[in-house]
Chain A
Amino acid sequence: MAVVSVQQVSKIYGHRLSLVNALNNISFEIKSGEFVGIMGPSGAGKTTLLNMIATIDQPTHGRVLIKNQVVSRMREARLANFRRHELGFIFQDFNLLDSLTVRENILLPLALDKFSVAMIEQRLAQVSRVLGIGNLLARYPDEISIGQRQRVACGRAMITKPTLLLADEPTGSLDSKSATELLQYLTVINRQEKATILLVTHDAFTASYCRRILFIRDGQLFSEIIRNGNRQQFFNQIIDMQATIGGGGRYNAITPGH
């Protein structure tokens, strides 16, 4: 079953004189339980694409369906509700709230949804066990390390058990050790909790944890690769593809299409 369906989506920014075609007629689908990465050079339109799916932005043409609902046509209040229930976000710079403790940061989405205290406590315990942050709960975000902060952000995204977990360059500000840890956690979540994950990155190492990768360039789908060997092999494949996009490399470009 397709969780996400992006249909002929285009996005044009700017005014009459300086138009930017950030996305140009992109279509693809993501199935339930998939772990998908989006790659591309800087300015390719990755963030734009993610924002469309995240319902934060609306496409100029085409439409986006999540669980068969046309989110690109929903009204603001319903959208907020939809985001709260169906989507989880991990931002590059975490965007944790400084005034809240780790515990409060994580449970915030449930509190907003007026869950019962018992339910909140139960989910919180579960999430903090998976992410290994049980001993940090009483601290404030500026009292923990950057890697831990990203895990907290991850916990906040997971706690609502979203249909779709979205991450925009989640490892962008992490050192390689923290990045590896986070990616391992995401893999665990993907496997154990059956969460569908879509992450944007321009880093091949991060991308190598995904099962499938979509490459975009200049707002268009450029190619797609699927992991069937081990991670190292997949990593090499990604490197090659990046080289191709950049112009040159071992493989020729695979034209988009299925």
Chain B
Amino acid sequence: MLLHLAIKNVLNRARDYAAYVMACVVAMVVYFCFISIETAPIFKHIGMAGESLALGRILQMTGIVILLFVVFFLVYANLFFIKKRRREIGILSIIGIPKYQISLLFLVESLMVGLIVLMVGLFLGILFSKLFAMLLLRMMGIAIAMPFLISGQAVEQTIVMFGGLFLLMGILNSTMIYRYQLVILLQKMTFSHKVRRPNWLTYLGGILAPSLIIGGYYLADHTLTYMPRLERRFGFGVDLLYLLTILLFEIIGTLAFFQAYTQIWLQFERRWKHLYYRGTHLLSVTNLSFRFKENAKMLWMITILCAVTITAIGSAAMIYTYSQDALQQNTPIDLIYSQSQKPAVNDILTRYRVRPVSQVDTAYKLVTARFKVNSTVAKNGIRMDGAAAVMPLTQYNRAMAQQFEQPAVKLKNNAAITIINLPHTMLEAPYKKGTGVLRRQSVGIPLQIKQADTPKLRIVHLRKQFPNGAGIFFDGVLNVIVVNNAVYRQISATVMDRIYTVQLTTAQQMQKALMRELLQLSRNPRQHDYLVMQKKSGTTRYTIKTTAKHLSELSRSSVLLKQPNQAIANANFGFYLYVALFIALIFMLATGSIIMLKQLSEAQEATLQYRTLKKIGMSVNEIKRMIYFQILMLFLLPIILGSMHAFFAIRMLGLFLDNPGLQLAYLVCGLLIVIYFIFYLITANIYNRIVNAPLNSDGFY
């Protein structure tokens, strides 16, 4: 009998149940997919990419975050669902069904739903987990044919987790009849669209909100101006405080924005009668005013979540770009080696009969140079004084063209290019950004080379890309100076060094044995190069020493190999991006569905209002337009504000990472916004269908 009633109940409320079950299934699929990656044999392949310990820890942490979110989401959905059914409990009680039976009924029902969710969820989860795993491997750039594996541990863990959760929620639901009085259960949920007139507190919040938000943005954007100043006065501890201040500004500002600013703004709109008394404007303004008030905390939370998500993904993308840049700068060509390694490398190349695409050697001289660059972080500028590599212009141009696809540069007799290993965001460069062209009034930075009879030089370009890669220069050689060929010949140095670069074909790079031997050589070469400096009466003499012993002098990587490092970096990044994307996906799904559920729960209660409007002569289309507009506002504001927060956060991060390209970050954010927009369309559509039924449909009286 009871089972029969429970089944009937489920069937009767098929539509409500469908939404609830779907929400639960989505939560479960997401959870399962993640868990199965953490526990499955697939994970062993990930371990191959190195750093497996760190990756494992990140996976674990992410797992916890996802678990918390899933629990929160399920409980929320359950609350929402059960709230709709309070009256039903009351009515069952009134027609004389004993309390324990009602309670049992709800328990049985909850467990039934749980069972269905478990079955459907596991089935879809297993399907999707394969898809996600393939996506992960793809993103990590690992090519492995994956068997269709079901991770038993993941299945078990998911069943235990969700089974427990459903049991808990079932108990919670079934005790509802004992926890509330009948009168409360029977009450129709009252719903009022009442708007309060703003008080002084609201006005204060309204003023505070934009000031805090914009203030925070300003601080973030001028971090490199203010942070060093504060550091000089209060020490380095102030950095954290500075960042926390920005964070706090944005968090409080956002709350005030939704609680107060929107109210003031909409109240202000009401004063403009010519606009306000025009068409549906009046209704939109008051309805929005009510909705913002009602949903302020939710919108705030969602804005912050959006900001965090976009920042996480954006920075993952940015760090990828950064590391790719760094890699490219360190090893801009397939194989780079120093003079001392020439025999060893040549031996390998001949043994494998490798005919490289190109093989170039570059010579440079070591000198002592001195100059000063202005910086935003150091008050008196950064003084550079020490060993520098001088290189002739033709060789520089050739290397840059081949390795960085840079156009050739021309230099006058007294001009020089300096390549400097500092984040260029921190330098006040005397050139117009991007083009490297000097400002008219300044004539560059004076450069002094400590050599007899060298002409007076001035630096006209500051650059950060080292020809032949930064890694091949000795650790103590801070800069490379490029001069005109004629000037180069005038400079007499005690030390000349040669660097060899090799470009390989893709096929050659795929030869495992060859690459393994080269990698072996680059990791432990038989001989190491050291730069020995001897100070003698004010001038420094340099010598390069090659030996099998380990010395404490300045050293360098004498063989640099691009391919394997690139692959490892790609795998790591793919993994980070995957985890970030996963979290983002969950946040988006959760926040999207929370707004959706909340709006739809209000829809039922707003039906009367819209019926009235139709009776006094608004057409179905006018109302539809109004609804779409209002819900758009509700969805749009958090995502706009969240994106703005994220934009400034990413920009700030970019300052420290020397402005890597942000295209990837923007692309990912765009993708998230698209998902969000789909949620909006669905919500608006359902809302409209609930409140905007034609008047003469027979079902209503």
By a beta-carbon cutoff of 8 Å, the part of chain A in contact with chain B is: 13-14, 47, 54, 56-58, 76-77, 79-85, 87, 89, 91, 95, 97-100, 104, 107-112, 114-115, 117, 120, 140, 142, 156
Contacts and interface: CB of A to CB of B under 8 A. Distances in A.
Given A99-B287, A109-B616, A80 B622 contact: yes
A57 B194 contact: no
A117 B282 CA distance: 13
Question: Which of B193, B612, B701 is the most central at the interface, judged by chain A CB atoms within 10 Å of its CB?
Answer: B612
A99 B617 contact: no
A111 B282 contact: yes
Given A104-B286, A140-B194, A97 B617 contact: no
A70 B289 CA distance: 40
A119 to B, nearest CB: 10
B633 to A, nearest CB: 15
Interface in B608-646: 608-609, 611-622
B277 A120 contact: yes
Contacts of B612: 91, 95, 97
A89 B616 contact: yes
A81 B286 CA distance: 23
Contacts of B611: 95
5 contacts: A13-B698, A56-B695, A58-B696, A99-B287, A120-B277
Contact of B617 (A58, A100, A109, A114): A109
A84 B617 contact: yes
A76 B286 contact: no
B277 A117 contact: yes
B620 A80 contact: yes
Nearest to B619: A80
Contacts of B193: 97-99
Contacts of A77: 619-621
A117 B194 contact: no
A98 B192 CA distance: 6
Contacts of A58: 696
Interface of B: 192-195, 273-274, 277-283, 286-287, 289-290, 608-609, 611-622, 694-696, 698, 701
A36 to B, nearest CB: 20
Contact of A83 (B274, B615, B694, B698): B615
Contacts of A56: 615, 695-696
B279 to A, nearest CB: 6
A76 B619 contact: yes
B617 A117 contact: no
Given A111-B279, A112-B279, 5 more contacts: A76-B694, A83-B615, A84-B617, A89-B616, A112-B280
A57 B289 contact: no
A48 to B, nearest CB: 9
Given A80-B618, A112-B617, A100 B286 contact: yes
A156 B616 CA distance: 9
Contacts of A91: 612, 615
Nearest to B195: A99
B522 to A, nearest CB: 71
Closest 3 CB pairs of A and B: A84-B617, A80-B619, A99-B193
Nearest to A11: B698
Nearest to B276: A111
Nearest to B277: A111
A51 B617 CA distance: 14
A81 B277 contact: no
Question: Which of B192, B283, B614, B617 is the most central at the interface, judged by chain A CB atoms within 10 Å of its CB?
Answer: B617
Nearest to B695: A56
B289 A99 contact: yes
A117 B694 CA distance: 31
Contacts of B289: 99
A90 B183 CA distance: 32
B281 to A, nearest CB: 8
A83 B286 CA distance: 23
Contacts of B622: 80, 112
B615 A98 contact: no
A83 B617 contact: yes
Given A89-B615, A112-B279, A114-B279, A99 B273 contact: no
A97 B194 CA distance: 8
A56 B194 CA distance: 27
Contacts of B619: 76-77, 79-81
Nearest to A88: B616
A76 B618 CA distance: 10
A117 B275 CA distance: 9
A108 B616 contact: yes
Contact of A57 (B279, B280, B287, B696): B696
Nearest to B285: A99
B277 A84 contact: no
A124 B137 CA distance: 70
Contact of B620 (A76, A84, A104, A115): A76
A108 B609 CA distance: 13
B306 to A, nearest CB: 27
A83 B609 contact: no
